[in-house]
Structure 1
């Protein structure tokens, strides 16, 4: 028997039956599609904290249990046993590839990875001190013009092109703001998506054996995260029938905010602030003072009320990377000490303020030598896969309608 809830409106004796929809796992939802028609009332939910805006088969999160799954696969298993190329395949095609499928898909990606010259020229047109996220938005807007009119609905070719080109674009942005020549992409067809990206960024400047696996795990763990702000922006824009690449630009715009993709950048800013002060205990005390607006960046998460499962994986990866780095890094030393204190302090334990994925990803990228302002573009690089998968799912969903949130008017 289908479950239903009954909404009683006091005063006019009206009762409304609201169907309860059940997913595969996770909380059920009240179906309120007919609520306004029947009652003349909207619902009020700032931030959409209690609202399911769509149905999806891509990613599942249980924040209380600390669970994250892509297409039903636990992210711990995926990060341990697969590379990012395999995760891209999984998110796009719903299954993990066998070796032959992976190689064929990799070949398709390589054939689609050439960045149009017009996009390279857009990057060069920006001043060297421009924020890389502003350049990345312009690059996706330029691709929207380049791919305008192409049939993006029948197959995944345009989405694959976006995922294949984004490492080159982010690397080119990095080299432009550092006044370096672009590296010829044709010389870099490595079997590892992450190594190719690092090669296009740094050339021969870094130890790829040390850092490729760590960057690959960062990309895997950031590939998708349910209906977060940037994914919602992609879906909202896409609901109007907008071009895939224009929707990706909307995703980058949302991701730029410090409360979203800029969080790992905020972690390193905080560590620099602590270093300048020289008093870590003072910052711990400020974070525990409920009257002080200061908070430790990289601790706690809106969704995860348990330990962020992505943080568990990156903590291990972070320790592996740091154990092999010989030069001292004061920010990394502060981060390690901060982590030790927070994991033992009852204040943080009681409030479940565990280090989250942004804490460790920021430390790893700092160790690699990636500049602070490039952190969020690399997040966008990883998340482009999720955005593409969510966009294609949305346009094939028969229930998709143009998004039109309501409001509670409080003006004159």
Structure 2
């Protein structure tokens, strides 16, 4: 790439050396339209027809490393300087001064609520916490050792089946998008689902937890805060006037604020991708949960704790890091796709950790974690790669100190992240120009057109790799016994032993 100095203007000049043509692409908000790049066309020259050269230039961006897919007013991240703001408010200010439901209102509707708005908002959400008793039955159908996140994902999808009035496939595809033109009925339906999902998310999450514990489900309690009610749903066993410890309640509320949104991350992109099909919002939430479930996303805090448990004690940190530097081990809880500086969320969480540890006692893994963090600060290997502790590194320590099982960590992430997903989904539904279905392009590198070969004439690929056919699959003992048996199949043919 060569830089040529010209008079400054908000455009990008591109010379296509294939054709000699020059194109001037407008720059708006420090971006160019991919569709403008598609206007750069040429005739194929010794190229595969699958490259579709004459149809315009494509942008190849594996894993969306530098592609903006939406215009948004919700969350701003500056990864270079370690900045995170919700609707313009620094995350640190919201953690110290706000509460989760107030922050949820801010993310979804754009402004901090007045006292009256806040009171109405909280009341509405806390009166949408109950779930249908048949959904409780659905939870009881799971195996005792099912992962809580699998149950939560299924529960959101099931919740949609209990709200047919909120399903565009049943009520018309413009059920929610009509709200963009000011249709009051559509806007009411849209906002009602938001209240339902935020209200029921802790109830569904607690049901997955109680199911794993083999305990009966609690009914939501009135008069407690959002996170207070969540802790009640999780932990209440018997007695009256249950009140969670105020420090733990406040810490969980702060963690919910920190996890509420994070721009177009993997799960939010999934939510918008699925939402662009105009499916119901409960299916959208289930899709978000599926993406969040992955160990590279919402499962990272669980993985970070497992790593610290494996390291064991501070004196084992150098040996572990030597393996990391040799790429023999994976370091979890450090670095971030966006942040090339200190994750601002991790700073806020470290302060929370100290408050929690005063109540719960010092986490036994804390010394190992602090030694690892110090090693990262002093290691040239880590500094050169911008590997600083991220939000997952410290949040797992707090969750463990509070007594949550490891497999529940992604659920504790999903409950507050529903707010961010809903904020982006609502913004998408209210797009004035309408919602276009997301349909990324690809670069096709496979075979050109081939002639069909009859089965008896086919030959095995001479240079076949292990990936080019199914590998041998191990079956259980019952399969071995069945393979040794003989029987007549449904067509009356005798099947003989295969082994």
CA shift at 1:17, angstroms? 2.5
- Residues 203-212 or 256-265, more deviating: 203-212
Is 2:425 the counterpart of 1:391?
Answer: yes
Change in 2 beyond 3 A, CA 1:148/1:17: farther
RMSD, aligned CA? 2.0
The offset of 1:359, in angstroms, is 0.6
Q: Tell me, yes or no, if structure 1 residue 255 matches structure 2 residue 292.
A: yes
Structure 1 gap segments, 5+ residues each: 23-27
Aligned length: 402
SS at match of 2:395: helix
**Larger displacement relative to structure 2 (195-204 or 73-82):** 195-204
Alignment match of 2:61 (pick from 33, 37, 45): 45
- d(CA) in 1 for partners of 2:356 and 2:21? 63
Determine if contact 1:275/1:330 at 8 Å carries over to the other structure: no
In 1, Cα distance between equivalents of 2:243 and 2:114: 31
Query: Deviating runs (4+, > 4 A) in structure 1?
Result: 204-207
Question: For residues 283 and 22 of structure 2, what CA distance do their matches in structure 1 show?
Answer: 43
User: Are the counterparts in 2 of residues 261 and 376 from structure 1 also a CA contact under 8 Å?
Assistant: yes
1:76-114 C-alpha deviation (Å, 9 max, x unpaired): 111110000100110111111122221111111112111
In 1, Cα distance between equivalents of 2:223 and 2:204:
15
2: CA distance, partners of 1:350 / 1:37: 39
Shift of 1:333: 3.3
> For residue 251 of structure 2, what is the aligned residue in structure 1?
214
> Could you tell me how far apart the structure 1 residues matched to 2:118 and 2:140 are?
34
Residue 298 (structure 1) aligns with: 333
Partner of residue 36 from structure 1, selected from 35, 38, 47: 38
1:280 is aligned to 2:317: yes
Go from structure 1 to structure 2 and tell me whether the alpha carbon gap of 1:199 and 1:2 turns closer, same or farther (over 3 Å shift). farther
Aligned to 2:235: 202
Match of 2:466 in 1: none
CA shift, 1:269, in A, is: 1.0
The reply on whether 1:142 has 2:142 as its aligned counterpart is no
Secondary structure of 1:330's match? Answer: coil
Residue equivalent to 2:94:
78
Q: Residues 206 and 302 of structure 1: is their aligned pair in 2 closer, same or farther, counting only changes over 3 Å?
A: farther
Asked if residue 236 in structure 1 is aligned to residue 273 in structure 2, the reply is yes
SS at match of 1:6: strand
Say which SS state the counterpart of residue 7 (structure 1) adopts.
Answer: strand
Contact kept? 2:342, 2:388, Cα under 8 Å: yes
Is 1:369 the counterpart of 2:403? The answer is yes
Of 27, 40, 54, 2:70 maps to 54
Question: 2:453 aligns to what?
Answer: none
SS where residue 353 of structure 2 aligns? helix
Using the size of structure 1 for normalisation, the TM-score is 0.92
Structure 2: which 5+ residue stretches go unaligned? 1-7, 42-55, 167-174, 177-185, 448-499
SS in 1 for 2:398: helix
The reply on whether 1:4 has 2:11 as its aligned counterpart is: yes
Mapped partners of 1:207, 1:162: distance in 2: 23
By relative contact order (CA 8 Å, sep 6+), the higher-ranking structure is 1
Distance 1:296 1:51, change over 3 A: same
SS in 2 for 1:47: helix
1:50 Cα shift?
Answer: 0.7
